[in-house]
Amino acid sequence: MPLYAMRHGRTNFNDQGLCNDDPGRDVHLTDTGIAQIEAAAEELRDKPLQRIITSELPRTRQSADIVNRHHQVPVSAHPDLNDIRSGFDGRPVADYFAAIGADPLHTRPPGGESLLEHKQRIARFVDWLRQQPERSILLVVHEETLRALSALLNDLDDQQMTQLHFANAQIVEFDW
């Protein structure tokens, strides 16, 4: 069975160029983000989803709820799917990338985690997911999470992982 993963739709913080890894912050889909997810929902409409799992960040749940209008399956959040802890919550994405630029795999900003630490967290989630009874699942996640998932499930090395980019509402299908 396939495993589907999708990045959330465009948010107010995407528009402002700000980082967000705090589930308590009001980061939500914009009108553009809603339209992106509605288009993705149409692509997923006939997929035999049994379950949707999101991160704890509201933008992923908001995206999942739009997709789930066609499926009416259980939706749950898992903390291991949360976006990378940047240490830059509410601050410019450009500042975050400047801080990790010399070594994006290993640099851990104060209060954050490195990309390799994030990948380890996603690997723990994948191990947990393999224990679940449902086989046709949609994950609604973040770009860094999609990078880590792609590296883990497609046997990519860490350098290849850093080169991956995913658009808002992009759907990725893995052979599960």
| Residue set of the binding site | 7-14, 59
Give the model's pLDDT for residue 110: 95
Instruction: Give the domain range for residue 11.
Output: 2-175
DSSP assignment, residue 165? Answer: -
- Per the CB < 8 A criterion, the answer to whether 19 and 88 are in contact is yes
List strand residue ranges (DSSP E) for 8-107, in order: 51-54, 75-77
* CATH for 51: 3.40.50.1240
Give the model's pLDDT for residue 164: 97
CA 29 vs CA 97, 133, 155: distances in Å? 23, 31, 32
Q: How many domains does the chain divide into?
A: 1
Query: 129: Cβ–Cβ under 8 A, 6 or more apart, which residues?
Result: 3, 53, 137
**pLDDT per residue as tens digits for the range 96-143:** 999 999 999 999 999 999 999 999 999 999 999 999 998 899 999 999
Give the model's pLDDT for residue 1: 74
Q: Give φ, ψ of 105 to 5 degrees.
A: -80, -40
The SS3 of residue 19 is: strand
Q: How distant is the alpha carbon of residue 18 from its chain centre?
A: 16
Strand partners of residue 51 = 137
Give the model's pLDDT for residue 2: 87
Chain position carrying tokens 């998932």: 149
| Residue set of the binding site for substrate | 7-14, 59
The Cα 81–Cα 84 span in angstroms is 9
DSSP assignment, residue 97? Answer: H
Q: Which residues of the chain have pLDDT under 50?
A: none
The Cα 115–Cα 93 span in angstroms is 15
Q: Give φ, ψ of 57 to 5 degrees.
A: -80, 130
